[in-house]
C-alpha cells in the first residue's frame, strides 16, 4: 500500500498555493520559482512511482528553468534511457500537481497507482540535479522530501547541466550491461567526450581559441572542467561565467538572447575578435548557438539550423565514404521554426521531417532513422545512432584505408555525441570536429546556405491556452478565424511564411515570420503579432510595437 502516513506528514509541509494552476509543458513544470515548492515535493513522489513502475530503474529529475529568467525555476523528469518522461505520464503529473489539499493529493495518488497497476513493493531510485539558480537549493530540499515520502532511494548529482543528468541516468541504468553508456559520474562524462574528441581531431591542427558565452549559468563550471580534460586539444575562453552575481543568469547573454535578438551579447563586445569563433550556451547548457564577427565587425549567427546543415553534410559524407550508404539511412528532423533556407539545403541531401516544438517530439521522430539528426533552430539538438546502426559500425569490415578511416570517425562520433538529449557542450565539440575536418572558418560554414530574414516575437495574451495548432504547429485551429487572417496577410509578402503557437515554457504566445527581405520579415512578424493581440489582447503595456 501507499505509505500514506509518511506522505501525509511531509505533504503538509509543502502546501499547494491556492491561486495557481500548474502544467507539465514543453519541458516539464516551469514558472516563477516561489510557487513551485509543492510541485517539487509531488514530483519527488511521482519519480519514485515511475521508478517502481519500471521495476526499480533509476529515474532522473532536473531542477532548472533553462533559458527562462533567473526568478523562474522548473523541473523535468528523465526516463531510464535518458530520454524525456513518457508523454502519457504528463497529464498525470499535471493532475497530481493541481490537487489542492494533501487529502486530494493522496486520493489522486491512490487512483493513479491503481490505474497504472504500480507494484508498490518494488524498489525505487531517483537521481537528481539542479542548475545554479538561487531558488534551486530549497526546491531540491522539497524534492528530497517527496523522494523520502514514497520511500525511494535518492542520489544527489549536485549542481550540473541538464545533459550531464541525462547522461547519468542512462549510465546508471546500463551499468554492467552490453549497452553500457559510460562511468556513472561527471568524470565519466568528461572522459567519454574528451577521449572521443581527441581521437577525432588527432590528425588536425590545434584550432584557434573558441570563446564560450556561459550565460552566467551552470555551463560555466562544467565547461571549465571539460576544458581540463580536453587539455590543449581545444583552447577555450570562458565568458559570462558569473554564477553568483544576482540577476546575471541569461540576462542579455546566452543562447536564447542570441537567437531572439540576433545580436552579440553586449558583454562580449571587444572580447570576441573579428574572425574568432564564439558560441553561447543557455541556462542549463542544453542549447548552443555559434556566431562570429566578419572583418567589418558585422555579427553573423550560426543557429541550430546551421549546425544541422554542417553536421548532416559531414555525416552523410562519412557514411558514403565508409561504404555503408546502402545499410545506414539518415534523416533530419526540424520544427516549423527551421529557416526555409536550411530546409531547402537539407532536403536536397536527405529526408527532412517537421514536428512540433519540444525535444521530446524531435527525439522520437529521429529514432525512426538509422542515424537521426535533429536540431531546433534555437540550438537544441543531437544526432541519434540506432542500436542496429551501432552494431553495424562495430562489426563492419572496411576494405580500403579510406573506408577504415571514415568508419573510425563514425564510431568516435557515436561516443562524442550525447545520445540522450541535446547537449550544448557535446554539440560544441561536434561542430569543432567538423570545422577542423573541413578547415572551415565561420564564414565558410555560414555560406553553406543563405538564411531567409526572420523575426521571432512574443505576445502576452489573456489566456495562451486558447491557442491550438495543427500540422506540426504550422496552422492555428483556435481562436476561430485567426488563421485565415494570418494566411491572408502572409500572402502579401514575398517569400512570406508565418505561424503562431503558445509557448510551453513561458506565459506568452510566440509569433514567427520570415520573408525574402529583412524589413518585410520584421513587418510581417509585428503585423501578425498585432492580429494576435487584437484578437486576444493582454496587458496593453506589453502590446507589440
Ligand atoms: C525548452 C524545450 C525546447 C523548446 C524550448 C522553447 O527549451 O526543451 O525543445 O524549443 O523550450 O519552447 P516553447 O517555445 O514551447 O517555450 P529549454 O532550453 O528552455 O529547456
For 155-158, which contacts have Cβ atoms below 8 Å and span 24 or more sequence positions? 155/58, 155/125, 155/126, 155/127, 155/128, 156/127, 156/128, 156/129, 157/127, 157/128, 157/129, 157/186, 158/129, 158/130
Give the atom of ligand 1 at the shortest distance from the alpha carbon of 376.
Answer: 10
Report yes or no: 140 and 49 within 8 Å, Cβ to Cβ: no
Backbone angles phi, psi at 505, to 5 degrees: -125, -15
Pocket test for ligand 1, best of 358, 379, 420, 473 (most atoms within 8 A of CB): 358
Distances (CA, A) of 257 to 31, 212, 294, 388, 459: 19, 14, 20, 39, 17
Report yes or no: 457 and 542 within 8 Å, Cβ to Cβ: no
Choosing from 11, 51, 66, 97, the catalytic residue is 66
CB-ligand 1 contact for 506 (6 Å cutoff): yes
CA-based torsion, 531, 536, 540, 541: positive or negative: negative
Placement of cell 513561458 in the chain: 506
CA-based torsion, 262, 268, 270, 272: positive or negative: negative
CB-ligand 1 contact for 504 (6 Å cutoff): yes
- Helix (H) / strand (E) element for 292: namely strand 288-293
- Helix (H) / strand (E) element for 445: namely helix 442-446
Distances (CA, A) of 195 to 105, 314, 330: 47, 20, 25
CA-based torsion, 172, 84, 69, 300: positive or negative: positive
What is the distance of C-alpha 105 from the center of its chain? 31
Check whether the bond before 502 is cis (ω within 30° of 0): no
Q: Around Cβ 88, how many Cβ atoms within 10 Å? A: 8
Report yes or no: 451 and 341 within 8 Å, Cβ to Cβ: yes
Nearest-CA residue for atom 14 of ligand 1: 503
Contacts (Cβ under 8 Å, ≥6 apart) of 454: 339, 512, 513, 514, 521, 525
CB-ligand 1 contact for 27 (6 Å cutoff): yes
CB-ligand 1 contact for 69 (6 Å cutoff): no
* Whole-angstrom distance, CA of residue 240 vs CA of residue 413: 29
Segments of 90-214 assigned E as strands: 125-130, 153-159, 210-213
* Whole-angstrom distance, CA of residue 241 vs CA of residue 230: 19
Q: In a 3-state reduction of DSSP, which class is residue 541?
A: helix
Backbone angles phi, psi at 336, to 5 degrees: -60, -20
In the annotation, is 66 catalytic?
A: yes
CA-based torsion, 169, 173, 177, 183: positive or negative: positive
Residues of the chain with CATH 3.30.310.50: 454-542
Closest C-alpha among 96, 109, 47 to residue 76? 47
Which DSSP string corresponds to 395-438?
Answer: H---SSHHHHHHHHHHHHHHHHS-SSS--HHHHHHHHHHHHHHH
Task: Identify the pLDDT of residue 539.
Answer: 55
Task: Identify the pLDDT of residue 540.
Answer: 44
* Whole-angstrom distance, CA of residue 467 vs CA of residue 499: 12
Q: What is the pTM of this model?
A: 0.96
Q: In a 3-state reduction of DSSP, which class is residue 299?
A: strand
Give the atom of ligand 1 at the shortest distance from the alpha carbon of 286.
Answer: 18
Residues of the chain with CATH 3.40.120.10: 4-159, 187-301, 304-422+432-446
Task: Identify the pLDDT of residue 537.
Answer: 75
* Whole-angstrom distance, CA of residue 534 vs CA of residue 543: 9
User: What's the CATH code, domain 4-159?
Assistant: 3.40.120.10
Q: In a 3-state reduction of DSSP, which class is residue 301?
A: strand
Q: Cell numbers at residue 23, please? A: 502544467
* Assembly ipTM: 0.97
CB-ligand 1 contact for 142 (6 Å cutoff): no
Architecture of domain 304-422+432-446 in this structure: 3-Layer(aba) Sandwich (3.40)
Tell which CATH classification among 3.30.43.10, 3.30.1490.20, 3.30.310.50, 3.30.565.10 matches the domain 454-542.
3.30.310.50
Report yes or no: 75 and 163 within 8 Å, Cβ to Cβ: no
Q: What is the pLDDT along the chain (545 residues), one digit of tens a residue?
A: 899 999 999 999 999 999 999 999 889 999 999 999 999 999 999 999 999 999 999 999 999 999 999 999 999 999 999 999 999 999 999 999 999 999 999 999 999 999 999 999 999 999 999 999 999 999 999 999 999 999 999 999 999 999 999 999 999 999 999 999 999 999 999 999 999 999 999 999 999 999 999 999 999 999 999 999 999 999 999 999 999 999 999 999 999 999 999 999 999 999 999 999 999 999 999 999 999 999 999 999 999 999 999 999 999 999 999 999 999 999 999 999 999 999 999 999 999 999 999 999 999 999 999 999 999 999 999 999 999 999 999 999 999 999 999 999 999 999 999 999 999 999 999 999 999 999 999 999 999 999 999 999 999 998 999 999 999 999 999 999 999 999 999 999 999 999 999 999 888 999 999 999 999 999 999 999 999 999 887 654 444 43
Closest C-alpha among 245, 239, 223, 95 to residue 164? 223
Can you name the CATH fold of 187-301? Answer: Alpha-D-Glucose-1,6-Bisphosphate; Chain A, domain 3 (3.40.120)
* Whole-angstrom distance, CA of residue 36 vs CA of residue 31: 8
Amino acid at each position: 500500500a501507499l505509505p500514506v502516513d509518511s506522505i501525509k506528514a511531509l505533504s503538509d509541509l509543502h502546501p499547494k498555493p491556492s491561486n495557481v494552476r500548474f502544467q507539465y509543458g514543453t519541458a516539464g513544470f516551469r514558472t516563477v520559482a516561489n510557487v513551485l515548492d509543492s510541485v517539487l515535493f509531488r514530483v519527488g513522489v511521482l519519480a519514485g512511482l515511475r521508478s517502481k513502475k519500471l521495476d526499480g530503474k533509476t529515474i532522473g529529475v532536473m531542477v532548472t528553468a533553462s533559458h527562462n529568467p533567473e526568478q523562474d525555476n522548473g523541473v523535468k523528469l528523465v526516463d531510464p534511457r535518458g530520454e524525456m518522461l513518457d508523454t502519457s505520464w504528463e497529464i498525470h503529473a499535471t493532475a497530481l500537481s493541481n490537487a489542492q489539499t494533501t487529502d486530494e493529493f493522496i486520493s489522486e495518488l491512490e487512483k493513479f497507482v491503481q490505474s497504472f497497476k504500480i507494484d508498490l513493493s518494488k524498489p525505487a531510485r531517483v537521481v537528481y540535479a539542479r542548475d545554479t539558480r538561487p531558488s534551486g537549493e530549497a526546491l531540491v530540499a522539497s524534492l528530497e522530501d517527496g523522494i523520502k515520502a514514497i520511500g525511494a532511494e535518492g542520489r544527489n548529482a549536485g549542481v550540473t547541466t541538464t545533459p550531464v543528468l541525462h547522461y547519468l541516468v542512462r549510465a546508471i541504468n546500463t551499468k554492467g550491461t552490453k549497452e553500457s553508456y559510460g562511468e556513472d559520474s561527471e568524470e565519466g562524462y568528461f572522459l567519454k567526450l574528451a577521449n572521443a574528441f581527441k581521437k577525432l581531431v588527432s590528425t588536425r591542427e590545434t584550432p584557434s581559441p573558441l570563446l564560450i558565452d556561459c550565460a552566467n549559468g551552470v555551463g560555466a563550471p562544467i565547461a571549465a572542467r571539460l576544458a581540463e580534460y580536453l587539455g590543449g586539444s581545444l583552447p577555450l575562453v570562458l565568458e559570462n561565467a558569473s554564477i553568483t552575481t544576482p540577476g546575471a543568469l541569461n540576462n542579455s547573454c546566452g543562447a536564447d538572447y542570441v537567437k531572439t535578438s540576433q545580436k552579440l551579447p553586449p558583454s562580449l563586445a571587444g572580447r570576441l575578435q573579428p574572425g574568432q569563433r564564439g558560441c553561447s550556451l543557455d541556462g542549463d547548457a542544453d542549447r548552443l548557438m555559434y556566431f562570429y564577427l566578419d572583418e567589418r565587425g558585422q555579427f553573423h549567427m550560426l543557429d541550430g539550423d546551421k549546425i544541422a546543415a554542417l553536421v548532416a553534410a559531414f555525416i552523410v559524407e562519412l557514411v558514403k565514404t565508409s561504404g555503408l550508404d546502402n545499410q545506414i539511412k539518415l534523416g533530419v528532423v526540424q520544427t516549423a521554426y527551421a529557416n526555409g533556407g536550411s530546409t531547402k539545403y537539407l532536403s536536397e541531401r536527405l529526408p527532412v521531417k517537421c514536428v512540433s516544438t519540444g525535444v521530446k517530439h524531435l527525439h522520437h521522430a529521429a529514432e525512426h532513422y538509422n542515424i537521426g539528426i535533429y536540431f531546433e533552430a534555437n540550438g537544441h539538438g543531437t544526432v541519434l545512432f540506432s542500436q542496429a546502426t551501432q552494431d553495424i559500425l562495430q562489426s563492419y569490415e572496411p576494405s580500403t584505408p579510406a573506408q577504415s578511416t571514415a568508419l573510425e570517425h563514425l564510431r568516435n562520433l557515436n561516443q562524442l555525441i550525447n545520445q540522450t538529449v541535446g547537449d550544448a557542450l557535446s554539440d560544441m565539440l561536434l561542430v569543432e570536429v567538423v570545422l577542423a575536418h573541413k578547415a572551415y572558418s565561420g564564414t565558410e560554414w555560414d555560406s553553406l546556405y543563405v538564411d531567409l530574414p526572420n523575426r521571432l516575437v512574443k505576445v502576452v495574451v489573456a489566456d495562451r491556452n486558447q491557442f491550438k495548432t495543427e500540422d506540426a504547429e504550422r496552422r492555428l485551429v483556435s481562436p476561430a478565424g485567426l488563421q485565415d487572417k494570418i494566411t491572408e496577410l502572409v500572402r502579401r509578402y514575398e517569400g512570406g511564411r508565418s505561424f503562431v503557437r503558445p509557448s510551453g515554457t513561458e506565459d506568452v504566445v510566440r509569433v514567427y515570420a520570415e520573408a525574402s527581405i529583412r524589413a518585410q520579415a520584421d513587418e510581417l512578424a509585428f503585423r501578425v503579432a498585432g492580429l494576435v493581440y487584437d484578437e486576444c489582447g493582454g496587458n496593453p503595456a506589453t502590446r507589440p510595437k
